[in-house]
Amino acid sequence: MRSLWSRLTLAGQFLVFQMGVIALVLVAVTVISVRQADVELRNDQSDVTRQVANQIGNLKVVQTEVDQVGAQRAVSPRVVDLQESNLVDLTLVADADGVVVASSDPTIVGARVGDGDAAPALDGRPWTGEQDVGGRRVLVSYRPVFRVAGGEFVQVGVAGAAVLAPTLGERLPGVARNTLLYLGIAAGLGVAGSYLLSRLVRRRTRGLEPAQIATLADHREALLHSIREGVVGVGTDGRVTVLNDGARDLLGLPADAVGRHVDDLALHPALRSLLLSAEPARDAVVVADGKALVVSRETAASEGRAIGTVTTVRDRTELVTLQSQLDVSRSVTDTLRAQTHEHANQLHTLSGLVQLEEYDELRRLVGDLTRRRAEISEAVTSMVDDPAVAALLVAKTSSALESGQELALVPGSHLGRLSSAVSAAVTTVVGNLVDNALHASADSGGRHVDVHLADDGDEVVVEVNDDGAGVPEPDADRVFERGFSTKPDSGTGRGVGLSLVRVLCASRGGSVTVENGGELGGAVFTATLPHREEAGA
């Protein structure tokens, strides 16, 4: 039986189970119907026996002859007539002692009827119930018979009428017709409902059987928790429906986060906004608790109906750190390459002057070169004590001069010696902002870029102003998005530098903004980097 049950489909099991429930309900309905019909039949028969007993007790001959000699001969014809005319099974008359003196059944004449439950009738009270009369179980009604004597009513006997108590087999035909009709209707509705339910279950389970559903659920859980990236599912009501171990660790969520509303979780406001948004997102960068998180979100749908969103979260803090280091290296490499080119040109010039024996011109050129290099170094190192940042600014200034541009450190700037972590972050930010400003200035036909540095001991402020065309107001926020650029994509990976600056600043608890204007009239980028040794920038 068990193997047969296990071979049934889920829909088949539902159908069998429902049919079993329906069968139990139908049996209960049948029992209740039979009992109700039995009660109604007994009530109807009891009414008939009471009426016949009253008719017998009201007969004049019964009242006058019941206690007389020859009562059977005088009373029996009338008792039999009433039995036949009223379709009852038994009629009788007993004297005041309960001894039957006349009956439609002669075999019980002389028997007593006052024993047991019928005793109240001998005390002047009517009684109706079941009783054994002549070895038969009957529904019987007794009523006292009175006669007027000396101006008073005197009980002289008992009148009774009875019908045979119906057996179960006799009661069933009376209720079978309606019961079968009800059973047929209920069974039809039950079968139809069970069939529709089984179809609905099969459709909702996509035709999968319980074992297949369990296997898919196990694989889903294993897959979710084996992914290092975080996966968060949010329903249309804003409650978390799916959360793997990666997301719990990255976002610092409790174990009972599933089922709770996103607003009830201790999340960074930007993360909360992304999780609750219905719009797709691709590689959105959020910095929370010193981590650079890359978030992507897609809408989840079932049968064309949106059921929520699925968001993936990746920790890119290490990648940002490596990228910043790479960016510093690339900037230094580019600067060194430019300086190498410049020195090569200068060496060629010096070599030519030597060959031409123009020694005076040679001395003048060497003096100019030495003086210009010294001026640049002096201008930077007098305001910047950090060697890495100072070296970068010196190299960028020389590179700008070679390309016909002017990079200047604004008077009043000051930057002390920084820790290695802060120095690396400031170097990356300055290098990217300066490169962006030099490109923007050159693209607009300008040639000036100003850099202002400030350090109050708590945070470093870097401000870079160019004389380019500025940033269009609609793009003021988008310029910091990864991959966005106001220039056509040339395949060189534009739209990375400013995004890196934003992530780097945010990871240290700072920020970067842009506005148009300043002393040079172009874009002014302002970055703040707090002195946070614990930040993983």
DSSP 72: H
Phi and psi angles of residue 293, each rounded to the nearest 5 degrees, phi first: -105, 135
Of 170, 186, 211, the residue that ends a domain is: 170
Residues 158 and 250 in one domain: no
Residues 286 and 369 in one domain: no
Distance from C-alpha of 342 to C-alpha of 336, rounded to nearest angstrom: 10
> What's the pLDDT score for residue 49?
87
What mean pLDDT do residues 400-416 have? 87
Name which of 477, 514, 480 is nearest 497 in CA terms: 480
Residue 192 maps to a domain: no
Q: Which of 167, 12, 159, 21 is nearest to 96 (CA)?
A: 159
pLDDT in tens, 372-381: 666 677 778 8
Residues 309 and 362 in one domain: no
CATH number at residue 362: 3.30.565.10
Task: Note whether residue 49 is domain-resident.
Answer: yes
Distance of CA 56 to the CA centre of its chain: 79
Question: Tokens standing for 422?
Answer: 């802060």
Give a yes or no: residue 82 inside a domain: yes
126 and 257, same domain (yes or no): no
Q: Read off the pLDDT band of 536 (50, 70, 90).
A: very low
Number of domains present in the structure of the chain: 3
Could you tell me the pLDDT band of residue 34, with boundaries at 50, 70 and 90? Answer: confident
Residue 268 in domain: yes
Q: What does the chain come to in residues?
A: 537
Q: Give pLDDT, residue 237.
A: 85
Residue after which a domain boundary falls, among 282, 297, 315:
315
Is the same domain home to 279 and 364?
Answer: no
Domain boundary (264, 293, 315) is at 315
The whole-angstrom separation of Cα 262 and Cα 273 is 9
Spatial contact of 224 and 246, defined as CB atoms under 8 Å apart: no
401 is in which domain, residue-wise? 358-530
Is residue 70 located within the same domain as residue 121?
yes
Whether residue 353 lies inside any domain: the answer is no
User: What's the predicted TM-score (pTM) here?
Assistant: 0.47
389, 309: one domain: no
- Asked whether residue 514 falls in the same domain as residue 372, the answer is yes
pLDDT tens for residues 505-531? 877 778 888 998 888 888 999 999 998
pLDDT given for residue 454 in this prediction: 93
pLDDT tens for residues 70-103?
888 888 888 888 888 887 888 888 888 888 888 8
| Residues 492, 378 share a domain | yes
Residues 369 and 509 in one domain: yes
| pLDDT of 36 strictly over 70 | yes
Q: Kindly state whether residue 474 falls inside one of the protein's structural domains.
A: yes
Specify whether 375 is located in the same domain as 522: yes
Per-residue pLDDT, 460 = 93
DSSP secondary structure string for all residues of 170-215: HHHHHHHHHHHHHHHHHHHHHHHHHHHHHHHHHHHTTT--HHHHHH
Residue 483 resides in a domain: yes
Q: What is the pLDDT of residues 430-460, one digit of tens each?
A: 988 998 888 888 888 888 999 999 998 889 9
How far is Cα of residue 143 from the mean position of the Cα atoms in its chain?
74
Q: Could you tell me if 387 and 309 lie in one domain?
A: no
pLDDT at 534: 44
Q: Which domain CATH number covers 298?
A: 3.30.450.20
What beta strand segments (E) does 244-347 contain? 281-288, 291-302, 305-315
Q: What are phi and psi of 393, to 5 degrees?
A: -65, -40
User: What mean pLDDT, rounded, does the chain reach?
Assistant: 77
**For residue 465, what pLDDT band results from cuts at 50, 70 and 90?**
very high
pLDDT beyond 60 at 220: yes
Highest mean predicted confidence (pLDDT) among 111-125, 233-247, 408-422: 408-422
Nearest to 139 by CA among 172, 183, 109, 170: 170
Say if 494 falls within a structural domain.
yes
Q: In whole angstroms, give the CA distance from residue 11 to residue 9.
A: 5
